[in-house]
Amino acid sequence: MIDRPYDVLSYALLVHAAPYSEQGALSALRFAQAAVAQGHRVSSVFFYRDGVHNASMLMAPPQDEVHLAEGWRSLAQEHGTELLVCVAAGLRRGLMSAEESARHGREAHNVEPPFVLTGLGQLVDAMLGNDRVITFAP
């Protein structure tokens, strides 16, 4: 039973930070884990600008280091968090789902569910539809 001294809130996180080159992505993941541990809901994480690299299914850090993409996937699987990736920022940086890869005539893709390529409209929805929006900067 979680002791809740205040209301349960819904959060959206906005991640601008690239994995490993900046701390912001790790800060965001640690925050999300702490928020759900307190009984809050992290409804969505929106990855924007260099933050889209968090969504690469090919991420393969050394085994004794934090695996950011795996951390995000666990958050989605265990807590139902939507992992939203800006499609325009993603395509510019070579982040493609199978569908986008086919559309662009490529032979490979590196974005799979629970990460979803989506538009800025989803970010606006997340901003309007949650109690809190927390930005994690590069």
Residue closer to another protein by CB (options 37, 108) is: 37
Annotate 106-123 with b (16+ C-beta within 10 A) or e (fewer): eeebbbeebbbbbeeebb
What x/- string results for residues 35 through 54 when contact with another protein is judged by CB under 8 A? x-xx-x--------------
Q: Residue 111's closest CA among 83, 136, 79, 135?
A: 83
Pick the catalytic residue from 86, 87, 89, 117. 86
Q: Residue 15's closest CA among 41, 40, 51?
A: 51
Q: With CB under 8 A, what is the number of residues at the site for another protein?
A: 23
132: helix, strand or coil: strand
Respond yes or no: is residue 86 known to be catalytic.
Answer: yes
Residue closer to another protein by CB (options 110, 130) is: 130
Residue 133 binds another protein (CB under 8 A): yes
Owner of token pair 């995000």: 72
Active site residues: 86
Residues contributing to the site for another protein (CB under 8 A): 6-7, 9, 11, 16, 23-24, 27, 30-31, 33-35, 37-38, 40, 132-138
